[in-house]
Amino acid sequence: MNVELITRDDLEKFKKELFEEIRKHSPHPRKHGQEQRAWFKSYEVRKLLGISAGTLQNLRVNGTLPFKKIGGLMYYKYEDIQKLMEGGEDGE
């Protein structure tokens, strides 16, 4: 039996490559002079990033993607989503 171990570094590298690929193929959010919204709901973030609800929950739980909960809805800042896509979770 051939066993391969995946390290945390492997997962981080994969995540960065995945988000870079998504960013390449995603339309630019500010088309035709439209004002970019500051906050997005969970379903919009999932659609934008092409991820499942479970993956979004993992990003929340491990602190990778900050959010605000108002009532039963969770909101995410667009700038935080951009930082995540660029691989700068710590804001640098």
Per-position pLDDT tens, the chain of length 92: 788 888 999 888 888 888 887 777 665 555 544 457 889 999 999 998 889 999 999 999 999 999 999 999 999 999 999 888 887 544 44
Q: Is residue 47 a contact partner of residue 85, using CB atoms and an 8 Å limit?
A: no
In a domain, 59, yes or no: yes
Say if 50 falls within a structural domain: yes
pLDDT recorded at residue 35? 58
Domain limits at 59? 39-92
Write the single-letter amino acid at 21.
E
Number of structural domains (the chain) is 1
Mark residue 35 as left, alpha or beta (left: phi above 0; alpha: psi -120 to 50; beta: remaining).
Answer: beta
Nearest residue to 90 via CA among 4, 14, 12: 12
